[in-house]
Chains A and B, each alone.
Chain A
């Protein structure tokens, strides 16, 4: 067997062709995914050159005339840029902060539940919203904060004035954070619960013999041991801080321009620019800006992760 292999190797050679030939089935299998990635991920990357062009549909991506940095000059002179950049980063930071906090707290409580039935039922309930699309959320949000919604009914009942949420941008970041917690915090507990249940039980046993009560076990043992996981997961999410959650924000805000000041993110801005179809070079320049800055942030967060804990680094 091994001699046969040796012979083959000598015959075919060790280079690219040899390797491809020898494992042709495996490479053939991979080729589907590779070609797909080439078309749907790498061609659009090359398409970013539109940012340096005066785009028109007839000439397409590659034949449209170059304009150098005109689109970027236009972009950086645009006052929207600061607003959408700020919103993207700020809203994402709020999401990370609050989702993590709620997930960790819930996880700490979940592992303390004694009743198996209560544990299973409540866990199922808190994970359920993760399966609901933002289109559905936007539908029931009207029933919650709309003119005749539950919140305004509550306000009316308390003798307070109604709030026209859909006309007032003040509360929207808080609303987005609440919805994010509703949708993702329960799902986020899974990894923390698994981490906590994986901790060494002997340490807890020893602390208990030393007279620690359950609060002390949580604050002195569980939380400190959980810290690494929290830091690593947070760093990973920070890598994506420059990407707005289009699926969520567009589904909820849509084209309600009254709310843009507090909620418009880069991705929704690019989408509208594309739809208005005025200058695709410009909207591509926005994407270009987002992709490059986003890339630098991913690299930086990964670099930091690797410094803190090499095993958690993505690459």
Chain B
């Protein structure tokens, strides 16, 4: 609780004026309304995923299922494709985040040290890429023609390995560590890598968590590179898999084939919703535990360094 909150509480206890009552009411009403606005899509997703297809076709999408069924979920898991997509997404999220963090730290740490002479030049070199870029076509040609990375799972990791924004945020975290710490280790004869490992990283855990989560979220939600470079559906990540489910009848046909049902009898609407629920499930589950790192990260990242 900040001083201001404490003061406000004191004041309220003394007397709650008309302005306070009006304001408190407005606050609760508006915030609740906005929360509702944020939640309705989730409620709709979950409700419709448990509804029977006939009811969806007859009555439309739901905020509460009138006839509860888990048929759509059975279909989704029977078809098995979602498992594969999960595997791809988990692979690119874990590998991608680890490698991204490694590259980011290795670039951000030297840039946070004053004694590095070409710091300014390297900073500009990285920074410029945030202002100017080659755009889609040259990147596409580079990756598909010259690097020949089409239909390779790494194409969803390597081209997005380093995010300059995250890197500069990491650098700001490192800069906020008192220099005396590494100075002392340096005098004890430790070299830079040891200092980074033994001194800097242990005290940067909140920063590492924040940047790591930003990377992980980026990889988890990625579909762009899959759309550009992946043709084999066995390499589709979750997000691109559900995107295809919305778009193409082919994906539904494939599911019908896998579960041995006629397309007409396949509950396609509820299957879409069930697949989406299965996709966002882990995020909703992990979210409460990691939320504070995002919040604190924004603040440190916004300090100019």
Interface residues, chain A, CB within 8 Å of chain B?
1, 16, 19, 23, 25-27, 29-30, 32-34, 36-37, 39-48, 50, 57, 60-61, 105-106, 109-110, 112-114, 118, 122, 124-129, 131-133, 135-140, 142-144, 146, 148-150, 152-153, 182, 186-187, 190-191, 194, 197, 199, 201, 204-205, 208, 213-215, 246-247, 251, 254, 267, 270-271, 274, 280, 283-284, 286-288, 290-291, 294-295, 298-299, 311-312, 315
Contact = CB atoms under 8 A, between A and B. Distances in A.
Nearest to A143: B61
A148 B35 CA distance: 24
A274 B11 CA distance: 63
A204 B224 contact: no
B239 A214 contact: no
Nearest to A153: B60
Nearest to A273: B137
21 contacts: A29-B107, A32-B107, A40-B158, A42-B129, A44-B134, A46-B134, A47-B134, A60-B141, A60-B146, A109-B26, A109-B30, A112-B27, A126-B38, A139-B276, A148-B57, A150-B60, A191-B299, A194-B299, A208-B7, A283-B137, A290-B135
A127 B141 CA distance: 37
Interface stretch (B75-83, B115-123, B250-258): B115-123
Contacts of A312: 304
A16 B116 CA distance: 12
Interface stretch (B39-47, B172-180, B200-208): B39-47
Contacts of B167: 33
Contact of A122 (B2, B31, B40): B31
Sort chain B's interface into a size bin: 35 or more
Given A30-B122, A114-B24, A133 B223 contact: yes
A143 B61 CA distance: 6
A139 B217 contact: no
Contacts of B110: 23, 26-27, 29-30
A26 B223 contact: no
- Grouping DSSP codes into helix (H, G, I), strand (E, B) and loop, the B interface class, with mixed when no group exceeds half, is helix
B162 interface: yes
A199 B5 CA distance: 12
Contact of A215 (B23, B191, B242): B23
A7 B142 CA distance: 47
Nearest to A137: B41
A26 B192 contact: yes
A125 B135 contact: no
A152 B139 contact: no
A143 B65 CA distance: 14
Contacts of B24: 112, 114
B256 to A, nearest CB: 19
Given A34-B122, A57-B145, A288-B135, A251 B243 contact: yes
Contacts of B44: 140, 143-144, 150
